[in-house]
Structure 1
Amino acid sequence: MLGFPSAPVLASGAAQAPVSLVVGLRADAEPDERGADVVDKLEESVDVVGSEPLDAAVAVDVPADQAAEAAAALRADPAVAYVERDHIAGIAATVPNDPSFVSQWGIKRAGVGTAWDTTRGRGGVVVAVVDTGVKAVPDLSGRLLAGYDFVNDDTNAADDQGHGTMTAGVIAAAGNNAVGAAGICWFCKIMPVKVLNSKGYGTYSDIARGIRWAADKGADIINLSLSGTEDSQLLRDAVAYAGGKGAMVLAAAGNLGHSKPHYPAAIPSAIAVGGSTPGDLRYSWSNYGGWVDIAAPGCNLAQGLNGAVSQFCGTSSATPFAAGVAALLASTSPMPTAAMIRSALVSSADKLPGAWVDPSGGRVDAAAALASLRAAQDALVQDEVPPAAAFVTPGGGALVRGTVQVSARVTDNLGIAKVELLANGVVVIVDRSAPYSLPWRTAVRGGTVTLGLRAYDRGGNVTSAARRVVVDNWGPTAKITSGPASGTRNVRKTKYVTAQAADRNGIRRLELLVNGKVVQRSTGTRRTFAVQTWKFGKTLKIRVRAIDRAGNVSNTATRTWYR
């Protein structure tokens, strides 16, 4: 089970280590500008060790003995919405194996076998495992999607601890393949998102980034087999963001055996999962209380990093069990919404003795949840009409750079489930609500990219559209070819500066800047500018700026003249 201590365990002498503060930003300016301004202002009163932009927030490191002063200064800043410590997450002690748990008793107890008579999952359903990463063990072969590592900030989301791999196995280990154990959703895809290091620790900020990334990449279900004792607006915002993208978030209630809410499980929009025994009692280590939404079998078989199958116990194991059942429900047609899945999962759960979960929930029952969902889906007309989908912007052949806002027109007779944007065949972001506006961060320096739209309606019908655009993130070349050299003194009257620029996609304009201000503009790739020197004081700093057709900017070296 993953647990978040209130503070990291520090080695001797670490008391003076910097403290990281998460600073939430108000929504009345551009995030990057707001974050930079807040940090600059803070540096006037405290020593800022470092900073890093986050989504609608900025992380600021300050000396430990200045943390209180920094927090007070930040809270007084009108651009700041909230200030909180960037807490540390970590794996708590795993519950020891119980020798009586020698088979997958949870499958039978929770009615999964009966549900398999209807569905064993489908490949279009994506479950994000936000954890220590995931290794491609035999039971997960061929079903791991590209992931991301927020601990090391790279695309290698392999597991170096083991926890995430076992979590993924409980959700989606292949069934009926004579290998390992059977997961709940045999054919679902797993999206590995590494937010915890090799010792099982990670920051709230990395976890929040992982949640948002998974939602943007189209995860239908987000599994958080981790928990912490501290509430966090940053985590609340990330879970809300995922919900807005149509993703369903499930989180572990925690393994301390008490009723104190743990986070992110206790965030109302997440589903908090506790661990139940074969007799539907609470494991002594499972947290409990009205904030826990449902329970699921707390000990399950899964493959570890070495491929061996062993018992995996804790609310870290119960959560992927519930997530696997949710993924089974998501595999049905017409495609259910996250709200429909949650309602079916919670309302159909078997009531438990002891009132250790919310009275509206209980222990998950896959067969009953499926029947409940079917009743809701039967109210929908059988849909065989595919949706209509078309690009609105950018236009075909458009020249683009940076972050491009792609808009689409998508309609359907019974409703749209989701719209995916692909770049050269790879899903880059998903939107589940109109108007469909999908930001795409162009990653290549230049070249032609094929954009794809893939629209799914509520009945599971799919329509695709494609459009090619030209990406240009490479600035033009620019140089001054003639004019007084830098350092020239006694300049008088009108002096002439000739500049030229080149770019593979064309130049939009040249601009002459004197002392930092644009004084002349010209279209074309070459221009001789006349500088009336007497208008600009005793010192003139001369440079030319070139702007290409995509909007990239390059500047010549500055020449300084003296009158």
Structure 2
Amino acid sequence: MRKLVAGLLAGASMLVAAPAQAAPVRPSDPGFAAQWGVTQTRVDEAWSSTRGSSRVVVAVVDTGVSPLPDLAGRLLPGQDFVNHDADPSDDNGHGTMAATVIAASGNNRTGIAGVCWYCRILPVKVLNAKGGGSYTDIALGIRYAADRGASIISLSLGGSDDSPLLRDAVDYAETKGALVVAAAGNRGVSTPHYPAAIPSVLAVGGITSSGSRYDWSNYGSWVDVTAPGCNSAQGPSGVVGPYCGTSSATPFVAGVAGLLAATDPAPSAAQIRTALTATRVLPSGRVDVPAALRALPIDGDVTRPAVAFGAVGTLVRGRVTITAAASDQHGVSRVQLYAGGRLVATDTTAPYSFAWQSAPNTAAVPLELRAYDRRGNLTVVRRNVRADNAGPAVQLTVARTMRAAGARPAGRTVTVRATDPAGVARLELLVNGRVTARKAGATGRFAVPAKARSVQVRAYDRAGNPRVVNGKLGG
């Protein structure tokens, strides 16, 4: 029997605004400023280690998906089970919005940043222009997606009745290795919603920017995780706008599942599901993406972590703070700093920072960062700096100056020449203990008043080391 069900468009109308927050990865997409869900779930932190992979296919079983620049090169040929053809174009907008939440290209100055930048989208049209469809077409769409290698199947749809037809399709997808993710529904009740309530399906509810459940989001023990219920998305025209409902939370989680699927070694659907549910933030059940990544099995992981020096000059002196950025798909266990082949310190938590006493070195010093992931994979990066902890050498000559026509002396002049392997930054003249003149560079000539009781020259090298030399004024 064909059972007609409505899509979830009726509940997809609310928008709760939230300010953008600073993030470890902040893409250039103009719509990113409104994507509060990315920072809430720490997707932006996960982006430092994974942004998806083209090997991961996410099927959007919905109203179809229209081609957009933000999906260019990653929108696969699909199928239309409503009109029975191979053109899964979107005549509603719902499916395209879901697809962009999942996989809009990030950091391309266009539209929004999807959760899984490099995942590919398989469009499967099972809902008509009004957002309605049948269990039969939905089941066919699930099977079609599974047969075409979808790692994740996203279903922003459902109905109130259970169905052997849907259960069989979900079981079939599971045997093919796919994780089925479905919307919990938008009636604000605890009554099970299908196919989300099928035990092997990952059921998704919607939460606000403050972490509370949206009033319209269905709830209950059958809901596995929650995710931001209002997200920026792009419709078929490419215009960015609010997309709300468990219809929106579902593709968000599907994108997160895509990030997990892109890791090495490739996890199974069951492992992805377990990682997402075991690390959810209680009591809301919100997904925590970095935590989920760390929860994946690491046996067989051969991907080394990424590590880089923070801002550090090529010339240093005294006590120096060395910072590092490190990331890994399954988590970094520790970062170590070596100087001149000797271990300086180990840091096990981000942000990674080390205090290195460069003194008494005045020489080139090789620095080395060693980053280990949880599996023990090692990455080493090196940088040479020059430690300069000695002031410049200074030659100083004091000479009398005479008035015109051989008159008595009017004062003195000080001629200075300073040298340093790293270069001399500036010279200062001190008369009677006070700075009276400054000059950039390594050489200079200064006038000294006739009544001066003492004169000194202070030279600074480029590292900031000073050297003070006293001048002899004589009689």
**TM-score calculated relative to the size of structure 1:** 0.50
Verify: 1:380 aligned to 2:300, yes or no: yes
Residue number in structure 1 paired with 2:252 = 321
**Structure 2: distance between partners of 1:89 and 1:366:** 31
Residue number in structure 2 paired with 1:343 = 274
1:100 Cα offset (Å): 2.0
**Structure 2: distance between partners of 1:99 and 1:335:** 36
Verify: 1:368 aligned to 2:368, yes or no: no
Residue 282 (structure 1) aligned to one of 191, 204, 213: 213
**Structure 2: distance between partners of 1:366 and 1:274:** 16
Aligned AA for 1:344? A
Which is greater in Rg?
2
Residue number in structure 1 paired with 2:109 = 178
Residue number in structure 1 paired with 2:223 = 292
Residue 17 (structure 2) aligned to one of 100, 112, 116: 100
Residue number in structure 2 paired with 1:212 = 143
Residue 70 (structure 2) aligned to one of 124, 129, 139: 139
Summarize deviations over 1:371-420 as a string: whole Å, max 9, x none: 111xx12x33649xxxxxxxxxxxxxxxxxxxxxxxxxxxxxxxxxxxxx
**Structure 2: distance between partners of 1:272 and 1:152:** 28
Summarize deviations over 1:472-522 as a string: whole Å, max 9, x none: xxxxxxxxxxxxxxxxxxxxxxxxxxxxxxxxxxxxxxxxxxxxxxxxxxx
Moved more, 93-102 or 291-300: 93-102
1:101 Cα offset (Å): 4.2
Summarize deviations over 1:412-446 as a string: whole Å, max 9, x none: xxxxxxxxxxxxxxxxxxxxxxxxxxxxxxxxxxx
1:311 Cα offset (Å): 0.7
Summarize deviations over 1:48-83 as a string: whole Å, max 9, x none: xxxxxxxxxxxxxxxxxxxxxxxxxxxxxxxxxxxx
* Alignment of structure 1 residues 143-542 onto 2, 5 Å: 143-353=74-284, 362-373=285-296, 376-377=297-298, 379-380=299-300, 382=302
Contact 1:88 1:203 in 2 (8 A): yes
- SS in structure 2 of the partner of residue 336 of structure 1: coil
Contact 1:89 1:204 in 2 (8 A): no
Structure 1 residues 279 and 381, CA, compared in 2 at 3 Å: closer, same or farther?
closer
**Structure 1: distance between partners of 2:146 and 2:300:** 26
- SS in structure 2 of the partner of residue 307 of structure 1: coil
Contact 1:170 1:183 in 2 (8 A): yes
Query: Percent of pairs identical after alignment?
Result: 60
Aligned AA for 1:100? A
Summarize deviations over 1:93-138 as a string: whole Å, max 9, x none: 1443436246110000001011001100111100000000000112
**Structure 1: distance between partners of 2:15 and 2:169:** 36
* Alignment of structure 1 residues 79-118 onto 2, 5 Å: 86-98=3-15, 100-101=17-18, 103-118=34-49
Contact 2:60 2:123 in 1 (8 A): yes
Aligned AA for 1:380? G
Contact 2:8 2:247 in 1 (8 A): no
Aligned AA for 1:221? I
- SS in structure 1 of the partner of residue 121 of structure 2: strand
What is the CA RMSD across the aligned residues, in angstroms? 1.6
1:87 Cα offset (Å): 3.3
**Structure 2: distance between partners of 1:98 and 1:323:** 21
Aligned AA for 1:368? A
- Length, aligned pairs only: 290
Contact 1:280 1:352 in 2 (8 A): no
1:92 Cα offset (Å): 4.0
1:352 Cα offset (Å): 1.9
Structure 1 residues 105 and 241, CA, compared in 2 at 3 Å: closer, same or farther?
same
**Structure 2: distance between partners of 1:87 and 1:226:** 12
Unaligned runs of 5+ in 1: 1-20, 22-84, 354-361, 384-563
Contact 1:273 1:295 in 2 (8 A): yes
**Structure 2: distance between partners of 1:381 and 1:336:** 11
**Structure 2: distance between partners of 1:117 and 1:351:** 25
Residue number in structure 2 paired with 1:453 = none
- SS in structure 2 of the partner of residue 127 of structure 1: strand
**Structure 2: distance between partners of 1:282 and 1:189:** 30
1:274 Cα offset (Å): 0.1
Unaligned runs of 5+ in 2: 20-33, 304-475
- SS in structure 1 of the partner of residue 210 of structure 2: coil
**Structure 1: distance between partners of 2:16 and 2:260:** 32
**Structure 1: distance between partners of 2:125 and 2:14:** 26
Summarize deviations over 1:6-48 as a string: whole Å, max 9, x none: xxxxxxxxxxxxxxx2xxxxxxxxxxxxxxxxxxxxxxxxxxx
1:279 Cα offset (Å): 1.2
1:193 Cα offset (Å): 0.1
**Structure 2: distance between partners of 1:94 and 1:139:** 26
